[in-house]
Structure 1
Amino acid sequence: MTDTPGWASPGSSEPPRDGVRPPADAPAAVPGPSAPPQATPGWGTQYGQPHHGGQTPGRGPYGWEAARSPRPGVIPLRPLSVGELLDGAVTTVRRHWRTALTLSLGIAVLDRAGAFVAQLLVRGRTGASTQLLTLLASLPLTLLLDALAVALLTIVVSRAVLGRSVTAGEAWRDARPRLLKLLGLTVLTTLLSGGVILLGFTPWLGYSAGGAGSRGTEGLLFLVGVLTVPVGLWLLIRYSLAAPALMLEKQGVVTALSRSRRLARGSWWRIFGIVLLSRLLAGIVGATLVIPFRVIGLLLGFGSVDRFGDTSQQSIGMMVLTAIAGIIASALATPFLAAVSVLVYIDQRIRREALDIELARAAGLPEQGGTGGSGPADQTTAGR
């Protein structure tokens, strides 16, 4: 059974508002979410047979009883708390570590190799702007590899939610037809968010490059640049669900951006908090790995303590050690962050479009007897 029915976007032009479920007697959208049968012992005990005030027995704060939610894969099929979402991302990496780490490790090696070459090309020749020029020199390769990582790991996470595994070769075959569109989407979203910030700081950079300028004017121009940061961040979160929509719903670039905008509407702060928390956790892991390698480099004589934070004058040995630490950190962080992004997208669709019902069907969970007949429904089914 394919997972296409679960991921297809709903046929209606406007999804339900957050927290509003489709009524049980509403006609099913094709191929979008539909209502479960009301007479089945399992599904019916959770969704059907409303009583006083239209409430159903056993409903929790999201209209469910959490303990009876089906769980074919790494998450229960219901609206997720932040902790459950992060746990689902970690579980995905842990349960499917061979595929996830194989893909992320290969991409991390290419990414760090490109950054290493760029750093060698500009090292010691550009003064204080070395780090900025290194970033700009490696940006095209970084965007390409980011798109590749998102494409491949989205396939892994989407299968993990349904309780299925996928090899690296299968992920590549499924993701390959969408790669060019995803690359275009990645470039476009980078320009939308980063371009706004860069445009805001351009007057300050130009004025500062002139040398003999007023400090007051320079400070004012810098403040203008700072004020564009929230705008760029707002755009980044607003369109953060476009990549999963493009990959899983097989949307075009413009349609995927529109889907992300609608799914994130009214949930910007929640998505922002999840993204910020996940990146903080990934950053802590990365720093925990990089600092020991830097210390080892100091002990081996590859650098000095007074230049510990200066990357523009690193020795070749220190650059190699830092690159190795970066590869390890990226190989661990990339699948985790990709899983968080996909699970946020799934959570938003569950909250707005009752995607959990379609996912349960795509996972092959029986509707007759469903979650109520044979033990706790929150246990992961076989076929992991």
Structure 2
Amino acid sequence: MTDTPGWASPSSSEPPRDDARPPADAPAAVPGPSAPPQAAPDRPGPAGAPENGQPWGKQWGQQWGQQPPGGHRPYGWGAPASPKPGVIPLRPLSFGELLDGAVTTVRRHWRTVLSLSLGLAVLSQAGSVLVDLLVKGKTGESTQTLRLLAGMPLELLLNVFATALLTIVVSRAVLGRSVTAGEAWRDARPRLLQLLGLTLLTALLGPGVILLGFAPMAGYGLAGGGSDALTGLLSLLGLLTVPVALWLWIRFSLAAPALMLEKQGVLTALSRSRRLVRGAWWRVLGITVLSYLLALVVAVVIAVPFQLLGVLLGFESLNGQGLPDAADRGVAMVLLMAVAGIIAGTFTTPFIAAVGVLVYIDQRIRREALDIELARAAGLPEHGGSGSGWGAQADPTSARR
């Protein structure tokens, strides 16, 4: 437990229930009396009103919750709108609403979001440029692999900072509040070391399982085994670990938001992610994969014109197939593609981070009715909020010191 109402994990030891909330696409319940009211014979209706006692919705062939002609809705009819103090409505979200919430966060809080992501993108591309200038295509076919491996530690470290800072920004945006880069840093700094350990653990978990699966085949090859049937069987064994790694990745994909917002430890955050994803693995997988694909499309759309410009200006040579030779890039082309990477990273990094946080919030709304706590935290009077904002202790993104 933490002292951050709104984001604190539930104190009950009961497992979360999927039926506690209706699905996102389910029609909302309609408030109103249990039986339709009888028409009063001595009360004249408006001009053109039906005289046969039928309600407006039936007379005009409308569904519950829709407005009759003229734009007037009879009293007590229709579902109340969900509160939306920030970038998302406080109810179970559809996939489109998750994407819209991520884009709206970047648009509304662009000063903080883009300044953070721009700084991280510049550091990331500076590391890539340094590696490219050190390698300069001297390693031949293994140049691309060496670039990837050399840049992984820096990318991992920057991913920790991006996750920590942008999680704070998105959590405030859900409540309709803004946060500066300095405030996000002060709130995220106490959790950075734990988030680094969590990121290392989750990043190595999937590849470690795959390497373990292919270890028998590698050992058999090094031992000089010549049986094609056994080699194929060991290869199949290794391939079967790929779905296991994917399953683990999605199972623990919500651990980082849980660690940052609930102020929990690494193992507790992993357990929270496991419980939140349970029963919704395919949905979380679809949202996560589609968000990464959208970010990849944006990155490619930004990078292609820069690469074509570099080829036209003679910054990059072409290989035998007429394609850009990425293994041997000049300094000018490396710098040009670094600019493209900075632009792409500035927009894609906050989008992916925002989607991850919103998926975490959506799962908690569906399982733990977090929307009620968030409405109170946002100060909505109809949900028990004071309407005047919270103090430092009630801020859902800062812990009591």
Q: Please tell me the TM-score bracket, short chain as reference.
A: 0.7 to 0.9
Deviation of 1:18 after TM superposition, in Å, equals 1.1
Question: Are 1:294 and 2:317 matched, yes or no?
Answer: no
Deviates more, 1:188-197 or 1:97-106: 188-197
Would the aligned equivalents of 2:376 and 2:383 in 1 still touch at CA under 8 Å? no
Unaligned runs of 5+ in 2: 23-27, 36-63, 66-77, 386-401
Deviates more, 1:192-201 or 1:66-75: 192-201
Question: Are 1:11 and 2:11 matched, yes or no?
Answer: yes
Matches within 5 A, 1:144-293: 144-201=157-214, 221-293=234-306
Deviation of 1:154 after TM superposition, in Å, equals 0.2
| 1:373 corresponds to | none
C-alpha change, 1:47 and 1:173, in structure 2 (3 Å) is: farther
Deviations 1:139-195 (A, max 9, x none): 111111101000000000000000000000000000000000000000000011122
> Superposition RMSD on alpha carbons, in Å?
3.0
CA–CA separation in structure 1 for the residues paired with 2:230 and 2:136: 32
The amino acid across from 2:323 in the alignment is F
| 1:379 corresponds to | none
C-alpha change, 1:234 and 1:146, in structure 2 (3 Å) is: same
Matches within 5 A, 1:1-384: 4-21=4-21, 68-201=81-214, 221-306=234-319, 308-367=323-382
Deviation of 1:313 after TM superposition, in Å, equals 1.7
From the two aligned structures, give the one with the greater helix fraction. Answer: 1
Q: Could you say which structure has the larger radius of gyration?
A: 2
CA–CA separation in structure 2 for the residues paired with 1:193 and 1:263: 19
Deviation of 1:137 after TM superposition, in Å, equals 1.5
CA–CA separation in structure 1 for the residues paired with 2:231 and 2:327: 25
Deviations 1:323-378 (A, max 9, x none): 111111111000000000000000000000000000000000012799xxxxxxxx
Runs of 4+ in 1 over 6 A off after TM superposition: 45-52, 205-218
CA–CA separation in structure 2 for the residues paired with 1:205 and 1:137: 24
CA–CA separation in structure 1 for the residues paired with 2:363 and 2:384: 27
C-alpha change, 1:5 and 1:95, in structure 2 (3 Å) is: same
The amino acid across from 1:5 in the alignment is P
Question: Equivalent residue of 1:291, what SS?
Answer: helix
CA–CA separation in structure 1 for the residues paired with 2:33 and 2:378: 27
Question: Equivalent residue of 1:313, what SS?
Answer: strand
C-alpha change, 1:173 and 1:221, in structure 2 (3 Å) is: same
